[in-house]
Structure 1
Amino acid sequence: MSFEGKTIAFIGAGVMGSAIIGGLLKKKLVVPEQIIASDPNEQARQAIASQYGIQVTDDNMEAAKQAQIMVLCVKPQFMGKVLPPFYGEVAHLEMVVSIAAGVTLKTIEEGLANMNVVRAMPNTPAQIGEGISVWTCAPEVGEDQRAQAQQILEAMGQAIYVDDEKYLDMATALSGSGPAYLFLFIEAWIDAGVKMGFSRAIAEALVKQTVSGSTAYLNHTGAHPTVLRNQVTSPGGTTAAGLYELERGGLRTAVADAVWAAYKRSQELGEG
């Protein structure tokens, strides 16, 4: 689906807004003249204008009125302030994409008085084109707009459509917050290497490449993680000893509890 003749307005020019803009331009789906971004932070506006050569403004309405597609890249806590000025003023928009965690389709539809709403949950690896997004949309969104939504999200990496909005809060907890879980585990892993006697630089190199290589190997083989874990675990060996301590320490329960807590918080943000 072509974006020819379309202007895309980004409300919010932060990390994720910049990631989407960069992906769209890198894949040549649009040219800089087709993008306008609004943000209250002058430094953020100047940075994104300098980096991508796009139009910027501090006026959300000015951006929206120039566009056919609007992408809401604001934190869920600010949505209550961002939506009201748009009410009844954006009927011309062919599609609105929101990446705000927990904020429901209904909230956005009623806040804008526009039913052509897509809700998505990307994650931060989108900044290098390695993200994954889960998305859904209101029934009123047409096939052409759905194709455009898929393209916008695939500009950041992979994109998976789901037919029930309930999966968005689940994705927020699993893949949206997921990088932070992994970074914490990596941090603890590096610290363990330092405790044993490695320099921090060597411990970091060993752990980062182990994570990167293991993930690549998992994707390459297509095998279940249990199968690959068993390949590394010899009876009575070093890996078995280490895994025993992780299990004894409640790693699985801690991970499950973390994801569940994030899921419930996503629901709370939507209700708020």
Structure 2
Amino acid sequence: MRIAFIGGGTMAEAILNGVLEKKLAAPADIAVVEPVEARRTHLTHQYGVVTTDDAKSAVSAGDIVVLAVKPQDLPKAMSNIKGTLTASQAVLSIVAGVKIGAIIAGLAHPAVIRVMPNTPAQIGAAASVWTATPEVTPERLDEARSLLQAIGEETQVASEKYVDMATGLSGSGPAYVFMFIESLTDAGVHVGLPRDMAAKLAVQTVLGSAQLVQQSGRHPAELRNMVTSPGGTT
């Protein structure tokens, strides 16, 4: 698999790290287009991948072209490579909130995969929801699936509307979990626990509770009722 990343930020790095760890591609087969020299230097030294600020040269060598820029930077990024993609290439966009139709129009290329990953991709624990246009070949679909499995769990859907829905749930969801952990920690400190102890307890409580839901197969409401028994401390 040959991959070209347009954008070398946190999510792009998480994906390329997962791809390399799973040995889905060699460093020489990954190119990252990144305007910031310090980021290019970091990615080259850390992973051995090819980095450049020349989008057209990088894209020409990719089977999958990953759009990994901020939404406000996408129009310029697409204009730089518009008309250069071939029918055998697929574009995989992780740009939040941007519809497939806009990407097709911006690139003049119909083979598009739209993905909503989330930040736990950085440790291989992402929840990614994705869909693809009919023009994406079976080979590219398989490669995209493998790429997403390298950073966590993936769910392919037939309709783009589910990607939009997942943006609010799994895409933004980690922020609410982090805020809950932060609040739980602060509450522990408020009642007198040392902060490091409160933080450790809060993180393990969330982690263990999530694993209990996943492994027990019980509905969260049932598990909650087990904790909030009448006359208890909760």
In the superposition, the TM-score normalised over structure 1's length comes to 0.84
The 8 Å contact of residues 69 and 93 in structure 1, kept in 2 or not, is answered as no
Q: 1:88 is matched by which residue type in structure 2? A: G
What secondary structure does 1:114 align onto? Answer: coil
Superposed displacement of residue 91, structure 1:
2.6
Q: Identity of counterpart residues, as a percentage?
A: 49
Give ranges in structure 1 of 5+ residues lacking alignment.
Answer: 240-272
2:98: which partner in 1? 103
The 8 Å contact of residues 91 and 111 in structure 2, kept in 1 or not, is answered as yes
Q: Does 2:203 match 1:215?
A: no
Q: How does 1:125-136 map to 2 (within 5 A)?
A: 125-136=120-131
The 8 Å contact of residues 67 and 93 in structure 1, kept in 2 or not, is answered as no
Match of 1:229 among 208, 224, 229: 224
* 1:38-85 CA-partner distances (Å, limit 9, x unpaired): 101111111111111011001212211222221111111211111112
Superposed displacement of residue 236, structure 1:
2.4
Superposed displacement of residue 200, structure 1:
0.6
The 8 Å contact of residues 63 and 140 in structure 2, kept in 1 or not, is answered as no
Q: How does 1:133-172 map to 2 (within 5 A)?
A: 133-172=128-167
2-structure distance, mates of 1:172, 1:78 = 19
Match of 2:41 among 39, 46, 53: 46
The 8 Å contact of residues 86 and 111 in structure 1, kept in 2 or not, is answered as no
1:185: which partner in 2? 180
1-structure distance, mates of 2:62, 2:53 = 15
Q: How does 1:18-97 map to 2 (within 5 A)?
A: 18-91=13-86, 94-97=89-92
The 8 Å contact of residues 36 and 55 in structure 1, kept in 2 or not, is answered as yes
What secondary structure does 1:83 align onto? Answer: helix
Q: 1:228 is matched by which residue type in structure 2? A: L
Superposed displacement of residue 162, structure 1:
0.6
1-structure distance, mates of 2:108, 2:151 = 28
Higher helix proportion = 1
Superposed displacement of residue 148, structure 1:
1.2
The 8 Å contact of residues 3 and 30 in structure 2, kept in 1 or not, is answered as yes
2-structure distance, mates of 1:181, 1:44 = 29
Superposed displacement of residue 92, structure 1:
5.2
Q: 2:63 is matched by which residue type in structure 1? A: Q
2-structure distance, mates of 1:87, 1:52 = 28
The 8 Å contact of residues 22 and 52 in structure 1, kept in 2 or not, is answered as yes
Q: 1:110 is matched by which residue type in structure 2? A: A
What secondary structure does 1:212 align onto? Answer: helix
Q: 2:79 is matched by which residue type in structure 1? A: P
Superposed displacement of residue 237, structure 1:
1.8
Superposed displacement of residue 86, structure 1:
1.6
The 8 Å contact of residues 122 and 132 in structure 1, kept in 2 or not, is answered as yes
What secondary structure does 2:84 align onto? Answer: coil
1-structure distance, mates of 2:59, 2:33 = 9
